Amino acid sequence: MTDVVYDVEDIIEWYALKVGSRKGGGIQNLLKRFVCILEEAKAIYQTSLEIGEITKRIFTLSSHLQDYGIRFISMEGGGSRSLSEEIREQRKTYVVACLTKEIKYKYRIISICGMGGLGKTTLASKVYNHQEVTSHFNYRAWACISQQYQKSDIWKEVLISLISPSKEQRDEIERMRDGELVEKLCEIQRQKKCLVVLDDIWKVEAWNSLSAAFPTDDTTSRNEALASKVDPSGHIYKLPFLNDEESWELFQYLALSRRSEECIIKENMKILGKEIVRYCKGLPLAITVLGGLLATKQTLEEWNQVHRNIKSYIHQPDGLSINIVLGLSYDDLPSHLKLCFLYLGHFPEDFEIRTTILIQMWVAEGLIYKRMQHIGSNEEMLEDVGERYLQELVQRCMVQVGQKSSS
């Protein structure tokens, strides 16, 4: 695209030199133009040919971009969608296009890679539930690999997700050996269009141990070298860091958008916020957690305290890492929320926890018993207190909401 722009500039400048500079008033200029009429006609003809060639190049380039789901953003009209929303939509649309585009190969692999906190799983989830993807594939399955896994458990989980078995079939799957699981999975993927997402693969060894059952899949990994080894000819989408504008927009939404304080206080918060955002270096998870933390701080002094705590870590060898950001947020939790948060360690990594079950466990363990409150003449139920605690952890971005009910 840049080359096309430069070529257009060259043509305009050449035309201005050859033709445009000869235009002017007076008899002498008019006679000169008659003398050079043939040369000028030739210059105009040559310019039109070159413009035609550039038009073809632009049309071809536009077609290729649209094939990959990339659209040009119109900056006119002042639409309600923000710049970062447009960019996020383009990233999602690109991956969707790669998955759904018909190709001569039966199987394809798309790897989404990048460091922790960039949003690989979030992007993969958006694509996984995209309308074009759900209508394109017959079956879909999602499995979290992480650092601790059993390959037979992963294969069983994927097989159950793909075929939605009855109780009898599920029992049969549980009794299957590794060879039978691999054979069954490959058979289903040969017969139907299947999308399998393997989330958070850390090592090449993990892929090697699982790959027999997956002739095609969509993977997310922190390791770009691993992504290239999974399929050297496949698509690799490396998630970029947020730029300054995107970082500030995300932080504002989390920390400042719902505030109703006096303008002068909010302006001072913005000054501190912009400096805090710079420390995050464009990492979405760091911005999200700090934004959630500062959303609970009501005064400028509280914001200053968080800012001082962050600055104390800037000179550490690792800088402002995700562990530091999460540590700051944990340290800021009230004691009763620390206990509730630590209780989540009983669940496996990447595990989806049902809200009602979690709150009932908190109650059974006595984590919220002493926090029971009275509202007027009605005693607040322990489950209501637990739900309030959970909502506060969500607001602080300490837990991630997977699904929301209709209520």
Tokens at 132, concatenated: 């074009």
Give Cα 298 to chain centroid, integer Å: 29
The type of residue at 80 is S
Spatial CA neighbour of 280 closest among 153, 118, 71, 102: 118
Residue 332 identity: D
> Looking at the domain 83-238, which fold is it?
Rossmann fold (3.40.50)
- Residue 378: Cβ within 10 Å count: 7
Which residues lie across from 144 on neighbouring strands? 199
Q: Which residues contact 220 (CB under 8 A, 6 or more apart)?
A: 111, 112, 113, 120, 121, 123, 124, 197, 198, 199, 200, 201
3-class secondary-structure state, position 1: coil
Report how far residue 271's alpha carbon sits from residue 273's, in angstroms, rounded to the nearest whole number.
5
Distance CA 146, CA 202 (A): 7
Helix (H) or strand (E) run with residue 143 in it: strand 139-144
Angle (nearest 5°) at CA 133 between 179 and 240: 95
| Structure confidence at residue 75 (pLDDT) | 35
Contact between 196 and 139 under an 8 Å Cβ cutoff? The reply is no
Please state the domain extents for the chain. Answer: 2-67, 83-238, 244-332, 342-407
Which stretches in the chain have pLDDT values below 70? 1-91, 102-106, 216-234, 258-265, 314-320, 369-379, 407
Question: φ, ψ for residue 81 (rounded to 5)?
Answer: -80, 135
Are 389 and 340 spatial neighbours (Cβ–Cβ below 8 Å)?
yes
| Euclidean distance between the first and the last CA atom of the chain, given in angstroms as a whole number | 48
Name the residue among 69, 121, 71 with its Cα closest to residue 95: 69
| Greatest Cα-to-Cα distance within the chain, rounded to the nearest angstrom | 102
Kindly list the distances between the CA atom of residue 329 and the CA atoms of 31, 162, 345, in Å, as whole numbers in the listed order: 80, 38, 16
Going 393 to 397 to 400 to 403, the CA torsion angle's sign is positive
